[in-house]
Amino acid sequence: MKRAFLALGLGFLWAPVLLMAAYAFSESRVPFQWGGFSTRWFTALAANERLLEAAWLSLRIAAASASLALLLGLALGWVLARHGHFAGRPIFGALAGAPLVLPEVVTGLALLLLFVGLQALTGWPAQRGAMTVWLAHSALGMAYVAVLVQARLASLDPALEEVAADLGASPLAVFGTVTLPLIVPSLAAGWLLAFTLSLDDVVLASFVSGPGATTLPVYLFSQLRLGMTPEANALAVVMLGGAAVLGGIAWVIRRPG
């Protein structure tokens, strides 16, 4: 029975993905209609500069926003986990976790108003584009990283850090040699989560992006009105293949012995 439920769950998750991948090899121009085996859409994908540019922009923004979210989330999680009670801590914690519970429409509108207000007061940003999308995605990912870091720090034995401090290590040395290695898994998970959230985001990017800064999800969403082609399916196959290669490399590295 357990195996049946497991198979049902995996089928529910993966059947649409595998079906989309199969239609990438269809001759038909209709994205979800089989017209015979063909690789024409991979050739068309290689010639579609707008789609490739949007995909490359999304990857760059996702990597940059995940990195900034990692730094900010680490600092935020550290404060919440290590500095106990201080004036305004409940409000600080609530504001830090607000992006986790607020609808992205509300967050996107708030960020749009922020950028418009800053532009009116200071002249920055001169226009909305990749920079504003990067900052918006970093703000969203930061909250997720902070939750993971805070949970990991709360589960650590404080005696490990106290012993290092008793032996004469400075606070910076204690963090670098004891704390940081222990929280690396949560940092890696937070970076990957922030990267995925950025790469998948449509709502925030729709509010804070501008001309010349169209990310892949926004581009594909706009194509729904004009008519999708199987080039998007071909791109999905390429991305799945890349993720599979990276997953295989990670498995080989982590394999014992």
Q: At 97, is the secondary structure helix, strand, or coil? A: helix
pLDDT of residue 256 exceeding 80, the answer is no
> How far apart, in whole angstroms, are the C-alpha atoms of residue 13 and residue 109?
31
Residue among 50, 72, 53 at smallest CA distance from 61 = 53
What is the percent of the chain with per-residue pLDDT over 70, rounded to a whole number? Answer: 99
Retrieve residue 165's tokens: 């401090």
Cis peptide before 125 (omega within 30 of 0): yes
List, in sequence order, every residue forming a beta bridge with 26; answer none if it has no partner.
37
pLDDT in tens, 98-108: 899 999 999 99
Q: At 230, is the secondary structure helix, strand, or coil? A: coil
- Side-chain-facing half-sphere of 229: CA atoms under 13 Å: 12
pLDDT of residue 53 exceeding 80, the answer is yes
- Side-chain-facing half-sphere of 32: CA atoms under 13 Å: 7
* Average confidence score pLDDT of the chain: 90
What are φ and ψ of residue 26, in 5° steps?
Answer: -90, 145
pLDDT at 84: 73
Quote the distance between the C-alpha of residue 66 and its chain's center. Answer: 6
pLDDT at 257: 56
Contact 230, 24 (CB under 8 A): yes
pTM for this structure?
0.90
pLDDT at 133: 96
Q: Which of 28-42, 51-65, 138-152 has the lowest mean pLDDT?
A: 28-42
Domain 49-226 has CATH 1.10.3720.10: yes
pLDDT in tens, 141-192: 999 999 999 999 999 888 888 888 888 889 899 999 999 999 999 999 999 9
pLDDT at 209: 92
Band (119; pLDDT cuts 50, 70, 90): very high
